[in-house]
C-alpha cells in the first residue's frame, strides 16, 4: 500500500482515503451525505456557507468538510447535537436575510432552493429579519439570466464558476456587509460584459437566486425530462430537455445539463446548448411537403405526391445521364441511422458512390 492511501473514520466507519482528498469527497464516495450550499465539485472548495461543518477529533472548532483535507487516522463526525445546534443558528441567520413565503420558508423559484429543503429538515432559530439592501440589476436586458437579490446567500458559487470554469469573470461579489451583492462591472447588463451567456451560474446557484428568464417559473408539475445529445458542435454534451404539455402541443420549455460527473460535459453547457432551443418550435419551420409547380413556385403537397415526385425526378436524371450524374448530400446534423439509410439509398437504390456530407468543408 502506498503511503498516499490510508484509512480514516467517518461516523465510526472505516473509509479508505487518498492524500489530498477532502472529507466531503471521501464521504460522498462512501454514500455519507454532508449537506452543503456553496460547494460544487467543479470548483475549488470555498468553505463559505458553513453548512458542511463537521466535527474533527482533536479540533476545537467545527471544520468545513468541503475544504478540510484528510490525514491518516482522522476521525470525523458528520451528525451530532453540536452540529445540529450549529445548523439551527446558521439557517436562522440565512433566513433572517432571505425572501420567505407565508409559512416562513425560503421562497422557491423554478431553479429550486436548497436552503428551503435544509430549513424544512432542521427548524431554524427564529431571528428578526435584517435590513439588507442588496442591489439587483432590474434593467439588465439580457434575454436569459435574471438575478433575484433577495434569494442570494452570497455563497459565490456563480462568481467562482464564472471565474474558475467558464473563466470569463463577468460577475463578481461587490460592496460590503449587508450590501454585498452579485455585480457586474459598473452594474451593467450582462450583454455589455464579458458574459458569454452560458448560464452556468444559473445551474450552480443553490438557492434559485439566478433564474432562467425564458422558461416557465416554476415548470408545471407534469413536465418530463428527456435525456438526449446536443445538436450543435461535436463535443456531444448531454442535455435534459424539459418537456411541457401533451401530444400535439408538447414543447421543450427548458434545457439543463445532467449533474456534474455523469456525462462528457461534466454539468456544463454553452449558450447554444442551454438556451438556443427556440428554433424547435419556431413558426418558420417547414411543416408541409412542397413541390415546385409549372409556375416556378413551391406548392404544398401530400407526402405521397412529394415522395413520388422526388423519386421520379431523380430517376429521370439517372435514366438520361447515368447513376453517377446523381449526388447525395447526407447530413452531419442528422442521426447515424439516417446517414446509414442515405448512403444505402445512394449505393443500393441508385447505384452511385456519390454520397458525402459536409466533413470536408
Partner 1 sequence: MTNSIDEIRDADLLFVTGSNTTEAHPIIAMEMKRAIQRGAKLIVSDPRKIWMADVADIFLQIRPGTDVWLLNAMANVIISEGLTDNEFIARSTVDFEKVRETVAKYTPEEAEKVTGAPAELIREAARLYATTKKAGIYYTLGITEHTHGTDNVYCLANLVLMTGHLGKRSAGMNPLRGQNNVQGANDAGASPVFYPGYQRVTDAEAQKKFEEAWGVELSPNEGQNLNVMMKSVIKGTVRGLYVMGEDIVISEPNASKLEVGLNENCEFLVCQEIFHNVTTQFADVILPGACFAEKDGVFTNSDRRVQRVRKAVDPPGNAREDWKILIDFAKASGYPMPDYASPAEIYDEMASLTPKVAGISHRRLEENVMGLQWPCPDPDHPGTPTLHIDGPLKGKADFQAVEYRPSAELPDDEYPLVLSTGRVLYHYNAATQTRREAGSVAKVGRNFIEMNRKDAKRLGFENGEIVDVVSRRGRVDAEVMISPRMRVGCVWMPMHFAESRANLITNDAGDPVTQTGEYKVCAVRVEGRNGNGNRNPERQRRA
Question: Binding of partner 1 at residue 233 (CB under 8 A)?
Answer: yes
Q: Which of 2, 3, 279, 295 binds partner 1 (CB under 8 A)?
A: 279
Q: What is the DSSP string of 155-170?
A: --HHHHHHHHTS----
Tell me whether residue 174 or residue 317 sits nearer to partner 1 (CB atom): 317
CB 179 → partner 1: shortest distance, Å?
30
| Residue 95: Cβ-neighbour burial (10 angstroms; 0-12, 13-18, 19+) | buried
Shortest CA distance to 276 belongs to which of 228, 211, 335, 231? Answer: 231
Question: Binding of partner 1 at residue 18 (CB under 8 A)?
Answer: no
| Residue 206: Cβ-neighbour burial (10 angstroms; 0-12, 13-18, 19+) | buried
Q: For residues 199 and 144, what is the distance between their CA atoms, to the nearest angstrom?
A: 8
CB 357 → partner 1: shortest distance, Å?
5
**Which residues, 195 to 214, sit near partner 1 by CB under 8 A?**
196-198, 214
Tell me whether residue 174 or residue 341 sits nearer to partner 1 (CB atom): 341
CB 112 → partner 1: shortest distance, Å?
21
Question: Binding of partner 1 at residue 125 (CB under 8 A)?
Answer: no
Q: For residues 2 and 78, what is the distance between their CA atoms, to the nearest angstrom?
A: 27
DSSP at 120: H
CB 86 → partner 1: shortest distance, Å?
32
Question: Binding of partner 1 at residue 248 (CB under 8 A)?
Answer: yes
Question: Binding of partner 1 at residue 46 (CB under 8 A)?
Answer: no
Among 19-27, 66-74, 90-98, 255-263, the segment contacting partner 1 (CB under 8 A)? 255-263
Tell me whether residue 126 or residue 348 sits nearer to partner 1 (CB atom): 348
Pairing of strands 238-244, 224-229: antiparallel
Amino acid at each position: 500500500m502506498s503511503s498516499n492511501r490510508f484509512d480514516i473514520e467517518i461516523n465510526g466507519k472505516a473509509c479508505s482515503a487518498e492524500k489530498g482528498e477532502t472529507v466531503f469527497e471521501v464521504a460522498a464516495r462512501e454514500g455519507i451525505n454532508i449537506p452543503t450550499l456553496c460547494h460544487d465539485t467543479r470548483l475549488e472548495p470555498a468553505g463559505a456557507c458553513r453548512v458542511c461543518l463537521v466535527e474533527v477529533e482533536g479540533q476545537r472548532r467545527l471544520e468545513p468538510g468541503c475544504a478540510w483535507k484528510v490525514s491518516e487516522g482522522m476521525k470525523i463526525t458528520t451528525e451530532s447535537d453540536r452540529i445540529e445546534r450549529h445548523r439551527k443558528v446558521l439557517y436562522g441567520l440565512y433566513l433572517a436575510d432571505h425572501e420567505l413565503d407565508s409559512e416562513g420558508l425560503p421562497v422557491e423559484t423554478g431553479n429550486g432552493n436548497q436552503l428551503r429543503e435544509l430549513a424544512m429538515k432542521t427548524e431554524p432559530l427564529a431571528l428578526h429579519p435584517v435590513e439588507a439592501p442588496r442591489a439587483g440589476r432590474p434593467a439588465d436586458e439580457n434575454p436569459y439570466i435574471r438575478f433575484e437579490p433577495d434569494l442570494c446567500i452570497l455563497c459565490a458559487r456563480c462568481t467562482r464558476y464564472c471565474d474558475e470554469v467558464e473563466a470569463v469573470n463577468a460577475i463578481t461579489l461587490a460592496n460590503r456587509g449587508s450590501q454585498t451583492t452579485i455585480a457586474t462591472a459598473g452594474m451593467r447588463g450582462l450583454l455589455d460584459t464579458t458574459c458569454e451567456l452560458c448560464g452556468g451560474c444559473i445551474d450552480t446557484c443553490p438557492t434559485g437566486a439566478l433564474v432562467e428568464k425564458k422558461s416557465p417559473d416554476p415548470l408545471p408539475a407534469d413536465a418530463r425530462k428527456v435525456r438526449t445529445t446536443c445538436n450543435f458542435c461535436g463535443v456531444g454534451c448531454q442535455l435534459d430537455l424539459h418537456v411541457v404539455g401533451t401530444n400535439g402541443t408538447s414543447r421543450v420549455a427548458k434545457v439543463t445539463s445532467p449533474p456534474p460527473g455523469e456525462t462528457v460535459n461534466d454539468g456544463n453547457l454553452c449558450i447554444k446548448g442551454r438556451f438556443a432551443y427556440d428554433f424547435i418550435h419556431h413558426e418558420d419551420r417547414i411543416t408541409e411537403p412542397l413541390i415546385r409547380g409549372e409556375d416556378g413556385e413551391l406548392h404544398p403537397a401530400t407526402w405521397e405526391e412529394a415522395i413520388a415526385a422526388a423519386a421520379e425526378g431523380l430517376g429521370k436524371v439517372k435514366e438520361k445521364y447515368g447513376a453517377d450524374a446523381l449526388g447525395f448530400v447526407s447530413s452531419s446534423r442528422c442521426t447515424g441511422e439516417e446517414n446509414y439509410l442515405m448512403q444505402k439509398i445512394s449505393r443500393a437504390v441508385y447505384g452511385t458512390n456519390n454520397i458525402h456530407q459536409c466533413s470536408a468543408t
